[in-house]
Structure 1
Amino acid sequence: MTTPLLTVNGVKTFYGNIMALKGIDIEVNEGEIVALIGANGAGKSTLMMTIFGQPRLSEGSIVFDGRDISQLSSHEIAELRIAQSPEGRRIFPRMSVLENLQMGATVADPAHFEADIKRVCALFPLLQKRMTQRGGTLSGGEQQMLAIARALMSRPRLLLLDEPSLGIAPILAKQIFRAIRELNERDKLTVLLVEQNAFHALKLAHRGYVLVNGEITLAGTGRELLERPEVRAAYLEGGRGEAQGA
C-alpha cells in the first residue's frame, strides 16, 4: 500500500472573516505529479501557500512524510525539503541569476552546489547564458525558469509549483512542462502543480483534483479528469486546437 508523502486533511483557511478553504482533503504520493485545477479565485494558490505555512490553517492538518507540519514556520518547512515556486515568480530582481540560485541553495548541503548549478542549467540552458544578469532584466519566461531552478537548488523531495506557465510564451511554457516531466521521470521528484492550463496540467499529471470555491469537487487520474464532460466544459473549451498541437 502506498504511503502518501503529503496529506492535507480537513484544511480550512481564512482571510479575515472569509473562509478561502472549506475543508480540503488531498493526498500526494511519493513520485507523483498531482495537478490542482480550478477557476481564478477557487483557492488553489491559497492551498499552496497554506501548505508552506503562510497563511496558517485554522482547522485540519498537513502531514509531510509522517510529520504534522501545520504549525511549523515556512523556514522550518523548507528545511524538510519542501520547495515552492510561487505564483508571480517572486525572484530577487536586483540579484543576479547566480545569486538567486545561491539563495535557493541555503538549506542544501554546500558540497552539492556546483553539481546542482549544472543540473538546473541542463534543464534550462537559457539560465547558463544569464548567470551574471540581474533577475529583474530577464523575460517573463526566463524569470519563471529561474524561480523553478531556485526551488530545485534546495534539493526538494516535494516541489510546489504555482502557475508555471502563466503569462509566458507558449514555447517557453512547453519547455517548462518538459522539464517537470523529466524531473519526475528521471529523479522521481514529487510535484504538486497548480496550473491555469488545465489540458497541459492533466496531461502531465498522474492524478488531479478540481477545486471550486474552496472545496474539492472532483478527483481522479489525469486522464479520467480530461475525459469528464464537466471538466471539458469548464476548463477545456476552446483549447482543442492547442491540445492537438501539444
Structure 2
Amino acid sequence: MTVTTATPMLQVRGAKTYYGKIIALKGVDIDVNKGEIVTLIGANGAGKSTLMMTICGNPRAREGQILFEGRDITQLPTHEIARLRIAQSPEGRRIFPRMTVLENLQMGAALDNLAYFDQDVERMFTLFPRLKERIGQRGGTLSGGEQQMLAIARALMARPKLLMLDEPSLGLAPLIVKQIFDAIGELNRSEGLTVFLVEQNAYHALRLAHRGYVLVNGSVTMSGPGRELLEKPEIRAAYLEGGAH
C-alpha cells in the first residue's frame, strides 16, 4: 500500500483523559494522515476505546489538544464534531435493534446528503451484499456479523472524511472478520477513505494498516508501519502467540 500524501487529518497531542481521579490516557500522541488506514492495538483496558471516545468529545481530554484538518476540536460538543464528517462505529455494534436495516441506514445518512441517499444505499449493498438480502429485517434479528456490517454501513452513510471503527472484529467468526477487513481495505483503495481503527485483533489490523500504534496502560509504547510492527518479536509475543490470528 502506498500513501500518496502526508496531509495531516487527525492530530492528537498530549491527550490526557480521566475517569474521576483515575487517568486513562497519559499524554497520547497520534497522527492519522489523509488517505491512510491507521490502527491502534492493545490489550483489554489499555485505553483504546477511551481514546476514540475522547476524539469524539465524550469524555473530554483534560489536557492536550485534538486537531482535525488543522482545527482544534478538543472542546467542541460531540454533535459538532460529527458535523465535521467524523463518523464512528462504536464497540458493541450499537445499531437500532427495532428498526429495519433500511431504517438504520436512514438514521446514519447525513441531512445534507439526502440527495445521494439512494446512491449511498446501493454503495452499502455492494460493499455488504448480505445487508441487501436483509433490507426489511429488524436489526436486532441479524447475526452478530450482519449487525457489525450494518453498524459500519450506517457510519458510512454520513459520507465521512474520517471513519473511526472500534473493535469491528469483536466476537465474530474468522470468515466474517475477513469480510469486514476486506471491505475496509476496499473503501480505502477505491475511495481514499481515511480510517482510524481500534482493534484487539493485531494480526488483521496490522496487515491492513499503513501505520500502527501500540497502547499499553494509557501510553503509546511503539509505532511504525503496520507490516513492520507485525514482524516485531515483542508484538508477536504479546498479541499474536497462541493463534490470535
Sort the Cα spacing of 1:109 and 1:79 in 2 relative to 1 into closer, same or farther, 3 A.
Answer: same
Match of 2:173 in 1: 169
Matched, 1:152 2:156: yes
Cα shift readout 1:132-182 (whole Å, capped 9, x = no counterpart): 111111110000000000000000010000000111121111110000000
Alignment of 1:80-119 (within 5 A): 80-119=84-123
Q: 1:227 aligns with which of 204, 227, 231?
A: 231
- CA drift of 1:108 comes to 4.1
Alignment of 1:35-54 (within 5 A): 35-54=39-58
Match of 2:11 in 1: 7
Give the share of equivalent positions with the same residue, in percent: 72
Q: 1:199 aligns with which of 203, 217, 235?
A: 203
Matched, 1:218 2:244: no
Question: Is the Cα–Cα contact under 8 Å of residues 110 and 159 in structure 2 kept in the other structure?
Answer: no
User: Secondary structure of 2:109's match?
Assistant: helix
Q: Which runs of 4+ in 1 moved over 4 A?
A: none
Output the amino acid matched with 2:169.
S
Output the amino acid matched with 1:52.
C
User: Secondary structure of 1:180's match?
Assistant: helix
- CA drift of 1:88 comes to 0.2
Match of 2:182 in 1: 178
Q: CA RMSD in A?
A: 1.1
Structure 2 length normalisation: TM-score?
Answer: 0.96
Structure 1 length normalisation: TM-score?
Answer: 0.96
User: Secondary structure of 2:158's match?
Assistant: coil
Unaligned runs of 5+ in 2: none
Q: 2:22 aligns with which of 12, 18, 22?
A: 18
Q: Distance in 2 between matches of 1:89 and 1:107?
A: 22
Q: Distance in 2 between matches of 1:239 and 1:211?
A: 21
Name the stretch that deviates more: 205-214 or 103-112: 103-112
Q: Distance in 1 between matches of 2:97 and 2:21?
A: 34
Output the amino acid matched with 2:237.
A
Question: Is the Cα–Cα contact under 8 Å of residues 50 and 56 in structure 1 kept in the other structure?
Answer: yes
Number of residue pairs matched? Answer: 241
Unaligned runs of 5+ in 1: none
